[in-house]
Structure 1
Amino acid sequence: MNPLLKIGLLALLLLVSGCASLSNAERDRAAGIAVQARSTVVECSQADRCALDSPLRGLGGKAFAASTEAAPQHYATIIDEGEVSLVARLNLIRSATRSIDLQTYIFDKDDSARLVLDELLGAARRGVKVRVLIDQLSAISDLEILGALASSHQNFELRVYNPTFGKARLNYFDYAGSVLCCFRRFNQRMHNKLLVIDDALGVVGGRNYQDDYYDWDSEYNFRDRDVLVAGPEVREMAANFDAFWRAPRSVPAERLNDVGGLLLKHGAPPMPPAEFRHPQRIARVSDEANDPAYVTRAFVDTALPVASVRYVADLPRKHRRERPSQPANGQHVTEPQLDALISSAQTEVLLQTPYLVLSKPARKLFSDLRKRAQPPRIVVSSNSLAATDNPIVYALSYKYKRRNLRELGFNIYEYKPFPLDAPVDYRNLLPAPLGEAPPSDGKRSSLIGGSAAGSNARGSAGNGDRRRTEPDAVVDADTTASASPRQATPGPAARRRTDGSVVERRVLRAETRPSFLGTKAVNKPLPVTRTGARMGLHAKSMVVDRRIGVIGTHNFDPRSENYNTEGAVIIDDPVFAEALAQSILRDIHPQNSWTVAPRTKPPVLSGLNYSVGKASEALPVLDFWPWRYATDYEFQPGPDCPAPLRRQHEDFHKCYVAVGDFPEVNVGPKWLLVRMLTAFGAGLVPIL
């Protein structure tokens, strides 16, 4: 674009957008309105702020009591099931006696998010200092709610990270202007997810605050994972949160242009009333969060004692652009730590990421491992096209399947949209009329093939026979079919579509971003061939040599490396690492994932097909060759195939049947769209 034309367009866009900007004096006035409206009433005069007497909170005290400066002690619990992780959050918030720090990328206003907001406000009213830090791009954009939160209580503070043009809610001009003037800054997001209670207990993982992270969405839910840590290392989590809180890019909500404008025009608004879509579900998790027996069974009995715990996280200065001659100044923290763990692997790396997109440094890292005399086995759990929330990013994974399998030696498993043995209460995936809970006897059912307590549970009848060191256990499908979402049908509130998918409401999911020229999600899950709530992988975890386990927010992709700030918990403990490994291996079991493997060679011209496909892969954007090196396979158990096999096994093609490149995607008339995504999408990845 002509530089003068670009400057002219930018000036016009900024002028239009700037009409809503406030002067410094107006921002001060708006902030004053919010501060004056904040309640100063503290409902509890007790020293513990009337906190819930929680056995989970007591676990933090136990860890500190057993710790010395030279030998810190911790407890760690892996939380796999979504709704159970929500119960943990509610219990922790209610048990806080001094402080709550919450940091997240997405914060919706649906049932789960509103429930957490109400609990945070309740904690502030009883005297707990509450700080909430949300990223601007994908978090709350409702000005009424933001104004109400900013004006709610003296113990409650809300800040927004990196607000483009100083606003909470962007319009078309803002998006277009951000492309022209500040594309890099607009893309620099705070992807950290962290909850810290009294500097003693912390929750880190992939979950944001939205129904689809807690198995509460009727269309699409994330298979995700958190780790709950109790002990001295939580202080490092608190220190990292504080660095973000004090960063110049973290702006108090009341000082944003649009929120401040609302305060100036209408004063402090009341908090809109909660209108829960499923109140019985809210009541169920609330009761469980108050039940000491349930909390003990789910989170305390399953906690693993671990000594070596590290919280590694980027700092806001990662978003500074340094000159090439200057040192990195500690910008990147998470990525180098994870790379060092991978490079230290001797026998195996289990890697779970929703987006299998490798940067050049990552490719070199795995290439160097491959060149060893005895390279470690690399197992990757990722999404299929039918399961992913981000089909354009999947295009790059699809484009480089040959490289990832043949050159890097990956063993790749793609998550199914309707897994039969996921860590989920399948009743939550069944449709129910608005305002009604799913069919239930009032109690939580045990998980299919697992315990509601998460991956650390030992000796439970449901999962003992599936805890294998390899994905080689065949689970009887008859034990799970009745609970599978395969037979689910849309509820009356859902809008049916002829392509098999059901859309009940439009939401911005996970890493999905709106268009740079609009405010609605344009990159969303593709239609599938079945009705019912499907699942997509969102967990970001790694196990090295069954000795070190990692759970965090890093997607192991270029965006996490270069744009987003990330965080992760690294635990050097073989028992914890094995528990995490078994959780990942469960996800790659044939009931839950397809195996990616090379196709059988065609009888003629196999060499030509391979060469042309490789050349097409090397093209920068368009990858036109339709006959791929690899495809997805489904395990077919039988007398000669009693257990799943690795793709390298000589009998692999006898026991597995090819199911196509995009199984369960309802391609139909959208075949051209899917091919365009996989051909051109690779070129779009850097800006997504």
Structure 2
Amino acid sequence: MRAIVRIGVAVLSLALGACASLSGAQRDRATETVVQARSTQVDCTRMDACAQRSPLRDLAARAFAQSTPEAPVHYALILDRGPDALLARVNLIRSATTAIDLQTYIFDEDDAGRLVLDELLAAARRGVRVRVLIDQLAALKHVETLAALAGAHVNFELKLYSPVLGRAQISYPQYALAAACCWRTLNQRMHTKLLLVDGAVGITGGRNYQDDYYDWDDEYNFRDRDLLVAGPVAHVMRDDFALFWNDRRSTPVERLDDVGGWLLTAGVPALPPAHFERPQRAQAMLRDAADSALIEQRLVSQAIRVGHVRYISDTPEKHQAVNADQQAVASGSLRSLIESAREEVVLQTPYLVLSDAAQDMFRQLHERPFDERPKIIVSTNSLAATDAFIAYALSYKYKRRYLREFGFNIFEYKPFPEDAPIDIAATGAELPDLGFDEDSAADPASLSASRALKGESGGTVASAASPSQPPPQDLSQTHRELRERYDRRSALERDQYRRALSREYSALRYSSRGANQPVPLQRAGVRIGLHAKSMVIDGRIGVVGTHNFDPRGDHYNTESAVVIEDRPFAQALRASIHRDITPANSWVIARRDKPPVFSGLNYSIGKMFEAMPVLDLWPMRYATSYEFVPGPDCPQPLLPSNPDFRACYQPVGDFPEVSTGLKGITTRIFTAFGAGLAPIL
């Protein structure tokens, strides 16, 4: 009992400590400290701030030159590959002549985050105004780093959006206190993501600033998508950023209690030099960003000329409204686009947890006359691939509803896709000897994710034809070592496991360590999880943005998206998503075979339990995962609605690739008891 009391006193003390805040005079002193410390030296006297010539920046000049008020011209570039997305960012930052505005949800201090941060500081030192706005719950890890950046340079400003308890960093007890006192405010996060250069060219989409968004993590990476757009719509992006930057929720870091306290106690620290985990990779990225010919070949040549472009975005007003739905501009606009569909909706989201409004919309679409009903294609994560198993559990609960009442065709991404736009060589994972010699024309970096991580050159270690089966037991010693090194079951407890993966569910960010990690799998490898948020309507309208099409996006997060009504662009985006749903990359979700007896009773009971917010304990689920089995009679993949589907697909279980154990049980528990979490998921 005494131990419990001591623990309670300690927790209470920490929580009460979180309430202690700086006075107004102390905040002013902290601000004065950084103002006096900021360097005013500018390394360039040229009018263009010694900007590096950039073919990407030239796209903007071309677009503005070709535009008229009645007929705007834009250039749009889909950034599927992580290294290309980072390359584009660095190249554009170096091309800035006047201003850089960066808005993001997550900004880490790993290799990718530090590389971008150093480029931003270099731009400030050569005379470019740099403004960085980060959501507080996912900002830079260390108070010392924030204090150093606050006083780094007169041209560099850093703010955090909606700081909880007036702090940059909060501990578990402080988070609990915030949840108790200010639950709604705690959940109202800035999920908008934007990099804008000179008000002329911008990048938006799913990626944050962290290694796993750019294929730089050796254990888990996101298959994500950004969109670079150059032209007049950048002015709309600029105005939207200004609304966030000038909002009262956006707080200069030096005025936060913990950062300000550091400054008052120790002054402005020097920012330590970067120590990259893999310096050669970082140097290669910096070198490539200066290569105009490479930028032209890898990026600019893929840009598509389009006409009118819309940038839709929630503003901070969403967090002021009594009813957030009234200010949910992004959610309303995206629903209107889906409702306009006549032929097909292709939707890609990492977390298939739909708000009530979205469910009503899809139900109404499916109730249209058959010949007016659009086909709905959904690309999302499997349990094996997702970084948020709790969100998957709620998606799993409603599979019957999605398939039967909404008419979804659901494809769930595999953790080891065979044909993903992922650069395994960039991850830094120590791959086995693949048997290449100096004269070989094959490039290890060109291997598919699954082949590289399984140690394949020609043969296979784990058969791709039966992905739900564990690998054979007669692995070579090299493969055994690789499996042990990257086996998530052992990694969960290793001290070397660097961090719980950052997730976009801020309300659960401070839950148990296990809740922030992907589930253990039956085999080892560099795992890939879907993170792209995109949509194509009738093959003519393409959307790339930040919205997960979930309740958080509707009610809590601010979201943004680029909408382009242009058939060639929409077809390119559709092809990108369709690559993700091929049998090599995804399983298909479809109805189980009906039981031989009492199938109607089983269906009715299952539906009844599904309607219950808790106690959904019925074990016979409506749907399961299927794998395509090609053959003479099955040359092409089919949709579940095709009468030949079952002849060409075999069931592989509810959770293929997942190592049975605690997480499988936990997933079912959240399915049974966690429906009440849906509004914050």
Taking structure 2 as the reference length, what is the TM-score of the superposition?
Answer: 0.90
| Offset at residue 277 of structure 1 (A) | 0.6
Identity of aligned residues (%): 55
Query: Which sits farther off after the overlay, 343-352 or 660-669?
Result: 660-669
Secondary structure, aligned partner of 1:137: helix
| Offset at residue 525 of structure 1 (A) | 1.0
The Cα offsets for residues 465-519 of structure 1, whole Å up to 9 and x where unpaired, read as xxxxxxxxxxxx9999799999987779957554687873113423144757669
Q: Are residue 357 (structure 1) and residue 353 (structure 2) matched?
A: yes
| Offset at residue 669 of structure 1 (A) | 5.4
Q: Are residue 390 (structure 1) and residue 388 (structure 2) matched?
A: yes
More helix by share: 2
Q: Are residue 338 (structure 1) and residue 334 (structure 2) matched?
A: yes
Q: Are residue 618 (structure 1) and residue 626 (structure 2) matched?
A: no
RMSD over aligned CA atoms reads 2.9
| Offset at residue 682 of structure 1 (A) | 2.6
What residue in structure 1 maps to residue 199 of structure 2? Answer: 199
Query: Which sits farther off after the overlay, 418-427 or 540-549?
Result: 418-427
The Cα offsets for residues 404-436 of structure 1, whole Å up to 9 and x where unpaired, read as 000110000000000000011222346239xxx
What residue in structure 1 maps to residue 474 of structure 2? Answer: none
Q: Are residue 584 (structure 1) and residue 598 (structure 2) matched?
A: no
What residue in structure 1 maps to residue 590 of structure 2? Answer: 597
What residue in structure 1 maps to residue 298 of structure 2? Answer: 298
Query: Which sits farther off after the overlay, 512-521 or 217-226?
Result: 512-521
Taking the aligned partners of 2:647 and 2:325, their CA distance within structure 1 comes to 54
Secondary structure, aligned partner of 2:76: strand
What residue in structure 2 maps to residue 412 of structure 1? Answer: 410
Query: Which sits farther off after the overlay, 394-403 or 669-678?
Result: 669-678
| Offset at residue 329 of structure 1 (A) | 10
Residue identity matched to 1:27: R
Conserved 8 A contact 2:484-2:524: no
1:20-419 paired onto structure 2 within 5 Å: 21-322=21-322, 331-373=327-369, 374-419=372-417
Residue identity matched to 2:666: L
Secondary structure, aligned partner of 1:570: strand
In structure 2, do the counterparts of structure 1 residues 480 and 27 end up closer, same or farther at CA, with 3 Å as the change threshold?
farther
| Offset at residue 442 of structure 1 (A) | 14
Residue identity matched to 1:356: L
In structure 2, do the counterparts of structure 1 residues 189 and 442 end up closer, same or farther at CA, with 3 Å as the change threshold?
farther
Residue identity matched to 2:668: R
In structure 2, do the counterparts of structure 1 residues 533 and 286 end up closer, same or farther at CA, with 3 Å as the change threshold?
same
Secondary structure, aligned partner of 2:289: helix
What residue in structure 1 maps to residue 622 of structure 2? Answer: 629
| Offset at residue 672 of structure 1 (A) | 2.8
Secondary structure, aligned partner of 1:423: coil
In structure 2, do the counterparts of structure 1 residues 111 and 490 end up closer, same or farther at CA, with 3 Å as the change threshold?
farther
Taking the aligned partners of 1:439 and 1:249, their CA distance within structure 2 comes to 57
Conserved 8 A contact 1:488-1:531: no
| Offset at residue 151 of structure 1 (A) | 0.5
Conserved 8 A contact 1:106-1:510: no
Q: Which structure 2 residue ranges, 5 or more long, are not aligned?
A: 1-9, 450-455, 472-477
Secondary structure, aligned partner of 1:529: coil
The Cα offsets for residues 235-270 of structure 1, whole Å up to 9 and x where unpaired, read as 111111110000000000111100000000000001
What residue in structure 1 maps to residue 673 of structure 2? Answer: 680
The Cα offsets for residues 92-119 of structure 1, whole Å up to 9 and x where unpaired, read as 0011111000000000000000000000
Taking the aligned partners of 1:528 and 1:11, their CA distance within structure 2 comes to 39
Query: Which sits farther off after the overlay, 359-368 or 111-120?
Result: 359-368
What residue in structure 1 maps to residue 3 of structure 2? Answer: none
Residue identity matched to 1:410: F
Conserved 8 A contact 2:393-2:667: no
Conserved 8 A contact 2:196-2:238: yes
Q: Which structure 1 residue ranges, 5 or more long, are not aligned?
A: 1-8, 451-476
Residue identity matched to 2:62: K
Residue identity matched to 1:227: L
Taking the aligned partners of 1:50 and 1:313, their CA distance within structure 2 comes to 33
What residue in structure 1 maps to residue 19 of structure 2? Answer: 18
Secondary structure, aligned partner of 1:202: strand
Secondary structure, aligned partner of 1:522: helix
In structure 2, do the counterparts of structure 1 residues 510 and 176 end up closer, same or farther at CA, with 3 Å as the change threshold?
closer
Query: Which sits farther off after the overlay, 361-370 or 478-487?
Result: 478-487
Conserved 8 A contact 2:186-2:507: no
Secondary structure, aligned partner of 1:673: helix
What residue in structure 2 maps to residue 453 of structure 1? Answer: none
Taking the aligned partners of 2:178 and 2:659, their CA distance within structure 1 comes to 35
Taking the aligned partners of 1:66 and 1:481, their CA distance within structure 2 comes to 52
1:490-509 paired onto structure 2 within 5 Å: 498=489, 504-509=497-502
In structure 2, do the counterparts of structure 1 residues 89 and 519 end up closer, same or farther at CA, with 3 Å as the change threshold?
farther
The Cα offsets for residues 149-177 of structure 1, whole Å up to 9 and x where unpaired, read as 00100000000000011101102332121
Conserved 8 A contact 1:508-1:520: no
| Offset at residue 668 of structure 1 (A) | 3.3
